[in-house]
């Protein structure tokens, strides 16, 4: 006779069926915890919820137990780097996010170097920013957490609520409970014995020691990011002629989006013809500063095809507004443009740099050149900085921003969503007028 907990002959389990059953109750939240006394059962419930929700929005499913085997079965085996490393070292989630092989909108976030289920990680100050980032782009962050983990209440308060998996009702005190899943069979040791968990943590600490050397490389990377941020700050004072008002921005500054990559390029076939190279002219710490530079210097200069790219640098939460110019298929073309900008004294000697920025957000595709100007002005009035690239067939694509990675597009994508427009990531193709 088959146990109601095990329906593997149909390719699923009772826990996953329950996850699918309650998924519809969670549609309005952007972050939640799956809290359980058994990490495998909680992970199966979480995975089923994530699979259902990934049909409606992008989902990142993270392991804060260090033992959620069903998650790794979907997106690869366990390794040294994950959520704990991101939080301890200020790394972006994109460095650890693993896409599900059969669901492009579902990502798995590994646990990382132990200890993971500890107050240092669960009560980390970065969680509210992460939750805010997912909310801004309409995505869902799910975290599988042990029921007895220290710091659980702090983490739960930063999210939209919890799903309790086979824990006693008394455990719900002080938590916002969105749904519960209770085993149909009697279970022993509802909450694990502290001694068992202590032995497991002792083993994990040994593993952590062996991984220390590997982690050192990531600390070096974090230091390099800090140096780069300092260099930008030194050279990023807003530039513009005195007495000239900056272009007004109709909305507030674009907030940082601390989240995983949420969108994929709509034109993957264009990778071989990408106009990936451009010139970064300057970076300002305000949108008004970047707009002022364009307003003062755009007319009759080599700034054709200029745009403003709001990006975060490394683990920083601040947004920098980079003025990026041009679209070249090779570095030589961008080098020539940089030389021209220096001759015109739009860029001082020794400043400006050639960058490889193959990605952008596409605002319009396959339009006539006669339509391009009016469409360009329409987007500009809405507070964006679009640019036109002419395609090989003579049609026009209208882009905004220019980015090194898809993840960098998150702040601008968030601004587009706030304006009521679904962001469309694309490879930059074509040439300027």
What is the domain-level CATH number for residue 196?
3.40.50.300
* pLDDT attached to residue 169: 75
Q: How many domains does the chain have?
A: 2
Distance CA 174, CA 180 (A): 15
Mark whether 147 and 289 lie in a shared domain: no
Residue 16 has pLDDT above 90, yes or no: yes
Q: Are residues 209 and 68 in the same domain?
A: yes
If asked whether residues 195 and 327 sit together in one domain, one would say: no
Higher pLDDT, 160 or 208: 160
Q: Is residue 40 part of a domain?
A: yes
Write the burial class of residue 11 (CB in 10 Å: 0-12 exposed, 13-18 middle, 19+ buried). exposed
Using the predicted structure, report yes or no on whether residue 33 has a pLDDT greater than 80.
Answer: yes
User: Would the pLDDT of 336 be above 70?
Assistant: yes
Residue 20 pLDDT > 90, yes or no?
Answer: yes
In terms of phi and psi (left: phi > 0; alpha: psi -120 to 50; beta: otherwise), the region of 354 is beta
Q: Which domain holds residue 93?
A: 8-220
Listed residues 220, 255, 274: the one ending a domain? 220
DSSP character at residue 273:
G
Same domain membership, residue 407 and residue 262: yes
In a domain, 432, yes or no: no
| Least reliable range by pLDDT among 121-125, 235-239, 283-287, 423-427 | 235-239
Residues 189 and 315 placed together within one structural domain of the fold: no
- Give the residue from 220, 252, 273 where a domain finishes: 220
Q: Is 394 exposed, middle or buried (0-12, 13-18, 19+ CB in 10 A)?
A: exposed
Residues 249 and 204 grouped into a single domain: no
Do 179 and 304 have their domain in common? no
Residue 308 falls within a domain, yes or no? yes
Whether 313 shows a pLDDT value over 70: the answer reads no
Min mean pLDDT across 186-195, 199-208, 366-375 is at: 186-195
pLDDT for residue 361: 94
- Examine the pLDDT at 242 and tell me if it is beyond 70: no
- 78: pLDDT confidence band, cut at 50, 70 and 90? low
Domain assignment present for residue 170? The answer is: yes
Residue 2 placed within a domain: no
62 with 199, same domain: the answer is yes
| 170 and 315 inside one domain | no
Instruction: Clarify whether residues 277 and 209 are in a common domain.
Output: no
- Does one domain contain both 141 and 272? no
pLDDT of 26 reads 93
User: Do residue 385 and residue 249 come from a single domain?
Assistant: yes
pLDDT at 304 exceeding the cut of 80: no
Decide if 3 is inside a domain. no
> Whole-model pTM?
0.49
Domain for residue 226, yes or no? no
In sequence order, what are the residues at sequence separation of 6 or more whose Cβ sits closer than 8 angstroms to the Cβ of residue 139? Answer: 30, 57, 58, 59, 60, 259, 260, 262
pLDDT tens digits, residue range 98-130? 888 888 889 999 998 889 999 999 999 999 989
Is residue 364 domain-resident? yes
Distance of alpha carbon 270 from alpha carbon 429, whole angstroms = 7
Q: Assign 359 a pLDDT band (cuts: 50, 70, 90).
A: very high
Q: Which of 169, 186, 220 is the last residue of a domain?
A: 220
């Amino acid at each position: 006779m088959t146990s109601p907990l095990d329906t593997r002959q149909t390719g699923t389990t009772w826990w996953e069926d329950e996850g699918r059953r309650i998924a519809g109750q969670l549609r309005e939240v952007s972050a939640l915890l799956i809290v359980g006394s058994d990490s495998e059962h909680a992970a199966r419930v979480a995975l089923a919820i994530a699979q259902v929700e990934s049909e409606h929005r992008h989902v990142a499913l993270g392991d804060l137990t260090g033992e959620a085997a069903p998650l790794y079965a979907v997106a690869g085996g366990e390794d040294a780097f994950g959520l704990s490393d991101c939080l301890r070292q200020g790394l972006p989630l994109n460095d650890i996010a693993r896409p599900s092989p059969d669901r492009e909108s579902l990502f798995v976030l590994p646990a990382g170097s132990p200890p993971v289920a500890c107050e240092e990680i669960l009560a980390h100050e970065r969680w509210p920013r992460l939750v805010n980032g997912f909310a801004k782009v309409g995505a869902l962050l799910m975290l599988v957490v042990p029921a007895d983990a220290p710091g659980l209440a702090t983490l739960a308060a930063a999210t939209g609520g919890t799903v309790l998996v086979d824990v006693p009702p008394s455990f719900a005190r002080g938590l916002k409970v969105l749904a519960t899943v209770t085993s149909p069979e009697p279970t022993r040791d509802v909450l694990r014995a502290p001694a068992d968990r202590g032995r497991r943590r002792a083993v994990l600490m040994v593993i952590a020691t062996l991984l220390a050397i590997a982690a050192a490389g990531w600390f070096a990377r974090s230091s390099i990011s800090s140096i780069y941020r300092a260099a930008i700050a030194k050279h990023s004072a807003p530039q513009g002629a005195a007495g000239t008002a900056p272009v007004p921005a109709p909305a507030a500054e674009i907030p940082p989006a601390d989240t995983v990559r949420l969108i994929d390029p709509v034109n993957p076939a264009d990778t071989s013809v990408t106009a990936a190279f451009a010139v970064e002219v300057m970076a300002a710490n305000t949108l008004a500063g970047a707009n002022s530079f364009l307003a003062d210097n755009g007319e009759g200069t080599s700034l054709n095809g200029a745009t403003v790219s709001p990006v975060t640098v490394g683990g920083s939460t601040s947004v920098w507004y980079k003025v990026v110019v041009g679209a070249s298929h090779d570095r030589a073309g961008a080098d020539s443009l940089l030389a021209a900008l220096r001759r015109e004294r739009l860029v001082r000697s020794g400043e400006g740099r050639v960058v490889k920025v193959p990605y952008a957000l596409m605002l319009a595709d396959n339009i006539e050149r006669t339509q391009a100007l009016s469409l360009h002005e329409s987007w500009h009035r809405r507070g964006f900085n679009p640019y036109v690239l002419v395609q090989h067939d003579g049609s026009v694509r209208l882009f905004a921003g220019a980015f090194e990675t898809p993840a960098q597009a998150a702040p601008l994508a968030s601004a587009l969503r706030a304006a009521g427009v679904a962001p469309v990531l694309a490879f930059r193709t074509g040439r300027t007028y």
